[in-house]
Homo-oligomer: A and B are copies of this chain.
Amino acid sequence: MTTFQRIVLASRPHGEVKPDNFRLETVAVPALQEGQVLVRNHFLSLDPYMRGRMEDAKSYAAPQAIDAVMIGGTAGEVVESRNPHFAAGDKVVGMQGWAEMGVAEGSMLRKVDTAHVPLSAYLGAVGMPGMTAWYGLTQIMLPKPGETIVVSAASGAVGSVVGQLAKLRGCRAVGIAGGADKCAYVVDELGFDACIDYKAGKLVDDLAAATPDGVDALFENVGGPVFDAALARMNPFGRIALCGLISGYNGEPMALNNVRQLLTMRLTLRGFIVSEHMELWPQGLTELGGLVATGKLKFRESVAQGLAAAPEAFIGLLKGKNFGKQLVKM
């Protein structure tokens, strides 16, 4: 291979993301410098945070530059190495973006063992999404056995791990997801105690019925009416890990109405970005990898075929069309 394909940000979205915000390019494979590694990426991870990076707004990270390769986590195989720590054939994860190949300094890659954990899982349950769940649960939600936890986007790459880890810690786990299929999966496959279909139109009542003892800790991925419904069920001194907020139709975040619950129930809420807590990744990934390898932590993937399918898959992800961790097989 002397060339490879990549996708760059062509323009910033106004409201909904459109396919023409992206541009597919074919570029030459660069020559390696001393210390560098050439990787053939097999999987690209698509994640909601990418939507934020497409905006030119003040946030925790600099915006994605126009005409630069879209940011993204990748898992692949070393094809050439000028770094003594890597050899051809090594399986590695990194942040090589929406690209079939990439050149990286060795420090930007992490070797992974695929003997018991599939390569793609290092982008999901044993990667950033899994760590996001692990961090929010263990560092913010602080669940005790017998407590009730709620997680929105429960069938997704993050939410599915939150609920399973909570069950392993002796909690009642209640999910919120969109659609009967996803809810059935969350309960029947993942082992949550209940899952509320927010599309069924009775979110507040259904959540109340599923949380008879109230809610002690919440993992919030969505915001808006789903967040409001969960706030209404919080018990005194509840903890809220704020991980994501899906924008309303106009691109603005949805307003929160049950603000008073934060005060009257003396809740603690913390927004977090898991990549700022790398010191905990070895501990978290060890637990997550062990659970996946022994079948105690289940996950599901939606795999789009070929890099050219990435924009459509990403737009679908933002609309909740994926079912499980969204990947692109390249």
Contacts and interface: CB of A to CB of B under 8 A. Distances in A.
Interface of A: 52, 58-60, 223, 227, 236, 242-245, 252-260, 262-273, 276
Contacts of A255: 255-257, 259
12 contacts: A52-B264, A243-B263, A245-B259, A245-B260, A253-B257, A254-B259, A255-B259, A256-B256, A266-B270, A268-B268, A268-B269, A268-B271
B60 A259 contact: no
Nearest to A264: B59
B256 A244 contact: no
B263 A242 contact: yes
Contacts of A243: 263
Given A60-B236, A236-B60, A263 B259 contact: no
A253 B259 contact: yes
The oligomer's copy count stands at 2
Give the one of A255, A259, A266 with max B CB within 10 A. Answer: A259
Contact of A271 (B58, B60, B265): B265
A319 B253 CA distance: 30
A94 B247 CA distance: 49
Contacts of A245: 259-260, 263
Contacts of A272: 266
Contacts of A265: 60, 271
Contacts of A244: 263
Contacts of A58: 264
B266 A262 contact: no
A133 to B, nearest CB: 16
A266 B271 contact: yes
B267 A271 contact: yes
A56 to B, nearest CB: 14
A245 B266 CA distance: 13
B262 A271 contact: yes
